[in-house]
Amino acid sequence: MVVLRTVVVRSVAKEFLWQLSEVGVCRMPSQAKPRFVILYGSQKGQAESLAEGVAEAAEEQGLVAELSCLNQNEKYNLEKEHAPVIFIVSTTGDGEPPDNALQFVKRIKNKALSADHYKHLCYALLALGDTNYANFCNCGKTIERRLQELGAKQFYPTGYADDGVGLDVVVDPWIEGLWKAIKEALSKMASDRTGCFKGEAGDSPKKTPDSSIPDVQLNLLSITDHQNCESTRASVETVSKSPTAASSSASATQTAVSDLSPAFPAGSPGLASQSHDTASVSTSAQETQNGDTGVPHVALAASLMRSLPPLSESSLNVPALPPPYLDVCLQEADAVEQVVGPLIKETLHEVPVSKAVQLARGDSVKTALLLELDISAHQMTYQPGDSFDVFCPNQAAEVEDLLHRLGLHDQRNHQVHISLHKDTKKKGAMVPPYISPNISLLSLLTWCVEIRSVPKKAFLRALVEHTGDSVQRRRLQELCSKQGAADYNLYVRDPSLSVLELLAAFPSCSPPLSLLIEHLPKLQPRPYSAASSCLRYPGKVHFVFNVVEFPACPGRPAGRRGLCTGWLFDLINPVLVFPEKAESSGCPAVPKIHVSLRPNCFFRPPSDLSAPFIMVGPGTGVAPFVGFLQQREEERKENPEATFGETWLFFGCRHRDRDYLFREELEGFVSSGTLSQLKVCFSRDDQEDEAATSAVARPRYVQHNLLLNSQHITDILLKQNGYIYVCGDAKNMAKDVNDTLMEMIKTELQVDQLEAMKRLAGLREEKRYLQDIWG
């Protein structure tokens, strides 16, 4: 019945388009295709990659996509645009737009714009965010809200993709349904322009059915009925494409290997005989698992390299093969640029590490370090709350391993020449601008690309074409398929598997260097909050970090340290001062690192010295607040007659005697009157004490101490126009603090949940509830 419904709807749509062509609505030169516009805003490349993917897929849909970044004002003009516009935008920081979308957001926020400024505009929007952070998808929501206020009309429901659970969960079905929506929007816009529904073409009412009917049916099929009708719908779409047509394409379509296709059931010769380019699925993995009947099935376990039924026996929906777009060759050269440090140095400063101190005791669970940088030779002025980007290289041992794995170790000092692939079908293809034209292969893999990045599904799909073993090939297809989404998250995404670790698990996969350069993102700097004040330490800046540890897991036989924190630890280890020692031993060479200032105009102490403020920073989250309080103490000395608002700090850690960071300094702030209230808690000590003494439970986490001081906190925030700052872990602490603040407002004001949410949102909008959090 569902199939019949789909066929009927499509027949109506085809008849409708035929009628439009008869009256001249759709009449155009045979080579012309309907166009639409894609605009993206991207901080780390994910939104950009998705936008490029949509643009590339448009051609297969008989459409032309014009792709632009939101900061490329010369390439698009929304004031005169009458084609459908797709926005794909991410959110960064504390709900801020990406850098390349800032000016666009600022322009559309102009209050001088009239309410019908974009009344001609027809749009759809895909927003990327992470629910582990506050202001989920805030950039997308801001753009959408403002577009609607300016009269723009939405032709397709907005998608809110959550990187906390996997973007694909929303992105894949959103893009899948986008094509029908665009085509219907184009048809409707064409009909509106010609007025054919008003009888101008002389059609009778019977020949021009209400276009809203197929719209509703199509939406029901693609959204509401998705769970029940997925395999049936996929089968219909697959049958409509002949294997010959599919194999003639250089890249596979989304449905080349589909669910429950009656024409090509799982393991059938018809499917296996398709072209190499149509992502045919081998059944060797299934045969391997079931071939030896003497092995009981209970002994099998799913892993990165192996799946179990039903996945191992399913037909798969795999993504289209990304079109290659780079030609890469290696040449011997007399003068090859051996880079020592990041390539873009206009805003970078190479500064010495003047001090390195281990803050936590040696038996602490986490290794917390404080670094002092000497910035006196550079024009760098920072404020408490600002942060610094630290530029680190990929680990030398991992670069060596990757060179060996690619069979290029003997050519590591060769010059890399990169050019665009002739006749590439990739939209907006360009040679990566962050790779120098005269760079060695060793330098490229060390400083330019992030070899620790988690391989995206498109990368896995491309790796399939370079995998010789049929079992391994099948498994890579599963991991990048719609059916294998859970396995991808479990074995690749969640453990943060790197490309090197993935290649180690699939030894028959031998990708060319060009594929890695196409798919590996730019090596990004790591931001760290300033933990000092220029007033207290002129010409110096402090920052604090825990050495991140990634445990061993399937696909990673041995644990490893975080890229930047591990590199910093190794770099400063010779000059490291331990809590038991006053100074480091000997006079080792002073290490230097590359940094750039990253101002944060909002996460700063109130400009009004009389305004009270609250700081919540467990663990290394206390770092910026040490800078806040150093600044306040110096200001109190300079302005003894001024009125200063009260200050509260909520700090927590595991053990009082092992990882109570900055203990002496914080207690000194209390003694001097700089810090009005210091509330500390120790999650593990209290557990042990309670077990021994059966004492009344004491606060274990910072949110518990907030609750104990609920009346004072809500009074400061809601009656005294005070501020609250939260710094630290996004996934747990920041969420718990937010929920606790909501409960405090509900209790103290005697209001319901909705009103409490509004009050908290009001604090955010007024920039009096600020976060500096990380995953």
pLDDT digits (tens, 9 = 90+) for 235-262: 323 323 323 333 333 333 333 333 333 3
Paired residues of 679 in beta bridges: 650
Among 275-284, 385-394, 430-439, which stretch is predicted with the lowest mean pLDDT?
A: 275-284
User: Rounded mean pLDDT of the chain?
Assistant: 81
Q: Which residue has the higher pLDDT, 736 or 26?
A: 736
The token duo for 228 is: 């029940």
pTM attached to this predicted model:
0.75
pLDDT score recorded for residue 337 = 58
Q: How many CB atoms lie within 10 A of CB 406?
A: 19
Question: Rounded to 5 degrees, what are φ and ψ at 48?
Answer: -65, -45
Decide if pLDDT at 612 tops 90: yes
Decide if pLDDT at 350 tops 70: yes
Decide if pLDDT at 554 tops 80: yes
Kindly give the residue spans of alpha helices, DSSP state H, lying in 392-439. 396-406
Decide if pLDDT at 341 tops 80: no
Element (H, E) at 728: strand 723-729
pLDDT score recorded for residue 736 = 93
The token duo for 577 is: 């001062």
CA–CA dist 504, 552 (Å, integer): 14
**How many Å separate Cα 582 from the centre of its chain?**
42
> For 684-701, what is the mean pLDDT?
64
**How many Å separate Cα 341 from the centre of its chain?**
25
The token duo for 92 is: 């960064």
Decide if pLDDT at 206 tops 60: no
Task: Say if CB 234 and CB 240 are below 8 A apart.
Answer: no
> For 66-83, what is the mean pLDDT?
94
pLDDT score recorded for residue 281 = 38
Question: Rounded to 5 degrees, what are φ and ψ at 92?
Answer: -135, 165
3-state secondary structure of 564: helix
- Write the DSSP assignment of 383-424 as a string of letters: -TT-EEEEE-PPPHHHHHHHHHHHT-GGGTTSEEEEEEPTT-
Pairing of strands 647-653, 613-616: parallel
Name the packing angle between helices 168-194 and 212-219 (round to 10°).
170
Spell out a b/e string for 427-462, using b for 16 or more CB atoms within 10 Å of the CB, else e.
Answer: bbbebeeebbeebbbbbbbbbbbbbbbbbbbbbbbb
Alpha-carbon torsion 723, 728, 731, 733, what sign?
negative
Decide if pLDDT at 700 tops 50: yes
Alpha-carbon torsion 605, 611, 612, 614, what sign?
negative
Task: Say if CB 354 and CB 494 are below 8 A apart.
Answer: no
Q: Which residue has the higher pLDDT, 257 or 667?
A: 667
> For 131-137, what is the mean pLDDT?
83
pLDDT score recorded for residue 364 = 78
Question: Rounded to 5 degrees, what are φ and ψ at 77?
Answer: -145, 95
Task: Say if CB 330 and CB 411 are below 8 A apart.
Answer: yes
Q: What is the pLDDT of residues 377-417, one digit of tens each?
A: 988 899 999 999 999 999 999 999 999 999 999 999 999 99
Q: Which of 145, 201, 253, 275 is nearest to 19 (CA)?
A: 201
Q: Which of 348, 377, 341, 311 is nearest to 523 (CA)?
A: 341
pLDDT score recorded for residue 259 = 33
Check residue 455 and report its DSSP letter: P
Alpha-carbon torsion 216, 217, 218, 223, what sign?
positive
CA–CA dist 237, 231 (Å, integer): 10
> For 708-717, what is the mean pLDDT?
96
